[in-house]
């Protein structure tokens, strides 16, 4: 169906009409018989792109499916998500990657791009089928053992050398297991000691970030740092970029707004990996996102069934849902970030990192019509029960956030209309 998006504020600046033909491409003039979307007072951005989404299928369809995750993504203004590899079975073969890609196409609400595992079974020992996954129909270019760190420097070096041949990138979960083991769950400090929770010191992230940027320099390959959480990591990234090393990095919405103080009540909703950090780290992350040291916002959307999350804090699963609220959290945490910069960190740059040529493009003639329309000054109180996700581990429940996704258009098709699935 052809569309006219009338009176939108493009990147929060000039008001314009956007025309979409029935092939889902932006064109110069209004097609005959087009549906009209009144966008008066709404900001138009290129559809959002998430570098870090856990869709749980296959294996944990009780927590999320590719369909329900796609629905949540569309409601959040996303037109593309990267589906992480720590499924069951792991996405470590061409067949597994292709199946995730096919299920995303069947859902049809966003582009679901599989992330391939770096190592077989996420075991950190033997490289997965990196080349075969890249050459598959899924066209995998991003690889990650997320949830586990590729802690062996030799394996990480080999992965970086391998993906360089086809322009791939390795996304690292930076957690030195000798400094922060699997039980570590609270930022190491006075609070973790008082609560009796195993500490997760910032240095456990920072030493891996430092090692990996040096490996990237040595190999001439690309490394991406997932969910940066400390001021020390920001310092390493700033130095590495000044040296011309091919490193990019992401920060989650929750690390931009929430702090470790929330763990005082032992609420497992706030158990996440890496853990929430003190305010000084939050401030450093905001500054780094604004100045480009951190390239992108990525949700690390991590749905869990109630029976995995509702435990004593040390026994509960790590993770929070975040696709539907990401834009509003960023706007709440950083209200002075321009809309052009929002588009940069949530659409254009993530698409470039992921190699998604049809995503994150300027809303200009000839581009695919991937568009999100946002009510900039709306205040929305989050209700976890209203989520499209199958899981309810929502850290924003009851909070009032700024800005609301009103419409989402994916390839010319309206997937969200007036804040509801179309």
The H or E element containing residue 342 is: helix 339-343
How is 206-259 classified by DSSP, letter by letter? HHHHHHHHHHHHHHT-EEEE-S---HHHHHHHHHHHHTT--EEEEE-HHHHH--
The C-alpha atoms of residue 307 and residue 154 are separated, in whole angstroms, by: 38
How is 171-195 classified by DSSP, letter by letter? EE----TTTS-TT--EETTHHHHHH
Q: Which of 300, 315, 336, 358 is catalytic?
A: 300
Q: How many CB atoms lie within 10 A of CB 153?
A: 13
The single-letter DSSP state of residue 273 is: S
Smallest CA-to-CA distance from 253 within 205, 231, 285 is with 285
The H or E element containing residue 155 is: helix 153-164
Q: How many CB atoms lie within 10 A of CB 20?
A: 27
The C-alpha atoms of residue 380 and residue 273 are separated, in whole angstroms, by: 27
**414: β partners:** 409
Sign, Cα dihedral of 375, 376, 381, 383? positive
The torsion of the CA quartet 372, 377, 381, 383, rounded to 10 degrees, works out to -10
Smallest CA-to-CA distance from 293 within 250, 238, 255, 345 is with 238
Give the ranges where 20-65 is alpha helix by DSSP (H): none
Is residue 21 flagged as an active site residue? no
Which residues are within 8 A (CB) of 182 and not within 5 positions of it... i.e. 6 or more apart? Answer: none
Smallest CA-to-CA distance from 197 within 281, 266, 148, 261 is with 266
Residues marked as catalytic:
300
């Amino acid at each position: 169906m052809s569309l006219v998006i009338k009176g939108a504020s493009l990147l929060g600046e000039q008001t314009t009409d956007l025309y979409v033909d029935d092939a889902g491409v932006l064109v110069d003039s209004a097609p005959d018989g087009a549906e009209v979307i009144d966008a008066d007072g709404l900001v138009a951005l290129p559809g959002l792109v998430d570098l870090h989404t856990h869709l749980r299928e296959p294996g944990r369809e009780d927590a999320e499916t590719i369909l329900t995750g796609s629905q949540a993504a569309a409601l959040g203004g996303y037109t593309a998500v990267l589906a992480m590899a720590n499924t069951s079975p792991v996405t470590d073969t061409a067949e597994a990657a292709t199946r995730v890609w096919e299920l995303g196409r069947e859902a049809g609400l966003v582009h679901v791009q599989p992330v391939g595992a770096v190592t077989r079974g996420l075991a950190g020992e033997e490289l997965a089928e990196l080349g075969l996954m890249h050459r598959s129909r899924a066209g995998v270019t991003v690889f990650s053992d997320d949830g586990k760190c590729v802690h062996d420097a030799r394996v990480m070096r080999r992965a970086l050398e391998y993906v360089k041949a086809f322009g791939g990138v390795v996304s690292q979960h930076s957690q030195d297991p000798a400094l922060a083991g699997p039980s570590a769950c609270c930022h190491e400090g006075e609070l973790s000691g008082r609560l009796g929770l195993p500490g997760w010191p910032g240095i456990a992230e920072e030493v891996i970030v430092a090692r990996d940027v040096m490996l990237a320099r040595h190999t001439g390959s690309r490394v991406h740092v997932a969910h940066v959480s400390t001021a020390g990591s920001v310092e390493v990234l700033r130095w590495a970029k000044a040296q011309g090393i091919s490193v990019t990095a992401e920060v989650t919405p929750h690390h931009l707004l929430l702090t470790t103080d929330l763990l005082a009540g032992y609420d497992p909703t706030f158990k996440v990996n890496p853990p929430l950090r003190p305010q000084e780290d939050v401030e450093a992350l905001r500054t780094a996102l604004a100045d480009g040291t951190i390239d992108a916002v990525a949700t690390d959307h991590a749905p869990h069934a109630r029976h995995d999350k509702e435990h004593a804090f040390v026994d509960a699963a790590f993770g929070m849902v975040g696709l539907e609220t990401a834009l509003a959290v960023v706007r709440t945490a950083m209200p002075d970030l321009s809309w052009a910069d929002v588009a940069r960190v949530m659409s254009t740059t993530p698409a470039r990192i992921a190699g998604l040529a049809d995503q994150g493009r300027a809303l200009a003639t000839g581009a695919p019509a991937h568009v999100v329309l946002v009510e900039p000054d709306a205040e929305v109180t989050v209700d976890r029960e209203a989520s499209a996700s199958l899981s309810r581990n929502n850290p924003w429940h009851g909070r009032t956030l700024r800005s609301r996704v009103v419409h989402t258009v994916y390839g010319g098709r309206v997937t969200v209309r007036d804040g509801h699935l179309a």
